[in-house]
Structure 1
């Protein structure tokens, strides 16, 4: 086989190997989201967040060191895009899992606002409405306050298993398009990763002459 043929073969090999690497990265991201969804407090569990962050960073570093030629002078735009794809996939999968579970087992409850307070976390709404069950006066949790005031009544969805917090409105429909969106983002991520693999192999073959 000629030198040109060998170089082309190496580039195709790196490109092909990049695809299962991307699949593994997506699977890791989904696994973290699914694992967090099974915990009683979901993403509010500090240990889940910390452990998930370590695994995800390790996976991203693995892809970077495995596929990216450090001698390349590029700005890493594609690598950043891959990381963004992973983050967006995790977010979309989280919403899809939550909506699916609330669609399957969530129950509508008529609630009353008992207090309006400042949001309790970085990702919470600026103000939140504290809710109680109108019928049994049990505390239900809190949602973004918006224009709600103390004494207002609102329909919310409660997860009997307590894995997801109270959600405004009736149980959601099972939105299949969210899974399709996650799959499309994962496909884009695979294409970007394959492109990184091809460029890295090209740079290596050029440097070795």
Structure 2
């Protein structure tokens, strides 16, 4: 095999190996979300959030270290677009999987309850803004939880879905349908992530060749 053929073989090998690396990254993102969904308080537990953030930060750091595209022109600061895109895909995968798991759980075991708004309170969430509506069971006056108030007022009645296991908060409306489109969306995000990761691997292989020529 000629020198050119060997170079392209190495480039293609690096590109091919990046695909399972990306799949592992997606699997870890889903695993963190799934593990959090099994806890009684889910994402509301700061220890679960902190552990998940540390795991993903370590994985993304290792991926960037292994596949980073060290560009020849290092003058000035360049935004690592592809690396940022991979991180964004991981974050999007976690969000979509969380929403899909929630809808799937509420679809399978959610119970429709007639609720009444008993109070309106400012949101206390770190990332939330606005007002929450405090809900109670309209028949038994048992507190159900809170949802975004929107245009609701005290005394309004509405149908909500509750999770008997308490792993997910109350959701406005009847039990949702099977979230098949969300799983399809997560697969599309995983494919886009794999393309960016493969592009990083190909660039890393080419830079490795340049580095070998400079030091050889």
Q: Give TM-score, length-normalised by structure 1.
A: 0.96
Distance 1:146 1:63 in 2: 41
Separation in structure 2 between the aligned mates of residue 40 and residue 100 of structure 1, nearest angstrom: 17
Is the counterpart of residue 195 in structure 1 residue 204 in structure 2? no
Give yes or no for the alignment of 1:158 onto 2:169.
no
> Structure 2 CA distance, aligned partners of 1:144 and 1:185?
28
Q: 1:101 aligns with which of 98, 105, 113?
A: 105
Structure 2 spans left out of the alignment, 5+ residues: none
> How large is the RMSD of aligned CA atoms in angstroms?
1.2
Q: Is the 1:125–1:144 contact (alpha carbons within 8 Å) kept by the matching residues of 2? A: no
- Choose the corresponding residue for 2:131, options 121, 127, 144: 127
Matched residues, number: 209
**How far apart, CA to CA, are the structure 1 residues paired with 2:143 and 2:127?**
22
Q: Distance between the aligned counterparts of 2:175 and 2:71, measured in 1?
A: 52
Tell me which stretches of 4 or more aligned residues in structure 1 moved more than 6 Å: none
Q: What residue number does 1:15 align with? A: 15
Rounded to whole Å, the distance in 1 between the matches of 2:174 and 2:97 is: 21
Equivalent-residue separation in structure 2 for 1:92 and 1:8 (angstroms): 37
Partner of 1:82: 86
Contact 1:112–1:154 under 8 Å retained in 2: yes
Q: Which residue of 2 aligns with 1:58?
A: 58
Q: In structure 2, how many angstroms separate the alpha carbons of the residues matched to 1:125 and 1:112?
A: 22
Question: Of 89, 104, 118, which residue of structure 2 is paired with 1:114?
Answer: 118
1:40, 1:111 → 2: CA distance? 23
The alpha-carbon deviation at position 125 of structure 1 amounts to 4.5
Choose which of 154, 173, 178 in structure 1 pairs with 2:177: 173
Distance 1:123 1:104 in 2: 29
User: 2: CA distance between counterparts of 1:39 and 1:125?
Assistant: 25
Which ranges in structure 1 are unaligned for 5 or more consecutive residues?
none
Give the structure 1 partner of residue 28 of structure 2.
Answer: 28
Distance 1:113 1:177 in 2: 32
Q: Secondary structure at the match of 2:112?
A: strand
- Structure 1 residue 204, shift from structure 2 partner: 1.4
Deviations 1:16-70 (A, max 9, x none): 1111110010000000011111111111110100000000001101111111144
| Corresponding position of 2:209 | 205
